[in-house]
Amino acid sequence: MNFRLAGLCPNSITDGPGLRLTVFFQGCIRHCEGCQNPQTWPINGGDKADTSELLKSLAADPMLKGLSLSGGEPFLQAGAALELARGAHRLGKDVWCWSGYSFEEMLPWEDVRAELLKELDVLVDGPFILAQRSLELPWRGSKNQRVLDVKASLKKGEAVLLPGQN
Ligand code: SF4
């Protein structure tokens, strides 16, 4: 499936645990003040990419522990993100995702975005809020954001932090 790609990090050590393939999706309508990736905002910017090509890259490197979906806003291209997440799981990789939407905003969704949420292992949720910025938090930029165990959160119907996160 084709989608708009802002960039790739083929060997990231900062987007979740272990060595990871990070996919930065193009497009975000939130426009947080202080966003680190404003070049990802234009919906039609970036480059055309193909999910099957990226999955081939993921399969080709056995050192990669997981796939990280970032942006931009991955949920604006949920169909492509879902294909990547399912493909990563088939390869035995874990899937982390960063979104400007909160888990509570996502809960009522019933479309492909809900399928994507169900496929994730970990969600770092919520917009970047400059007034709550912190450099000391692993995996997130501001204190409002949370590192969530998605399966546990969906089972409980409310946000459940990944063990060890606060
Ligand atoms: S949600 Fe993320 S990518 Fe979008 S503007 Fe906010 S920080 Fe930037």
pLDDT digits (tens, 9 = 90+) for 47-68: 999 999 999 999 999 999 999 9
165 assigned to some structural domain: no
8 assigned to some structural domain: yes
Atom number of ligand 1 nearest to Cα 100: 1
CATH number of the domain that 152 lies in? 3.20.20.70
Structure tokens that stand for 41 in this block: 């905002």
Q: Give the Cα separation of 85 and 116 in Å (integer).
A: 8
Domain that holds residue 40: 2-156
DSSP 104-135: HHHTT--SHHHHHHHH-SEEEES---GGGB-S
Pocket lining for ligand 1, CB < 6 angstroms: 28, 30-32, 35, 37, 40, 71-73, 100, 127-128
Indicate which residue's Cα is closest to atom 1 of ligand 1.
100
Q: Structurally, how many domains does the chain consist of? A: 1
Q: SS3 for 59?
A: helix
Atom number of ligand 1 nearest to Cα 40: 3
164 assigned to some structural domain: no
Write out pLDDT tens, residues 15-32.
Answer: 999 999 999 999 999 999
**pTM for the full predicted model:** 0.97
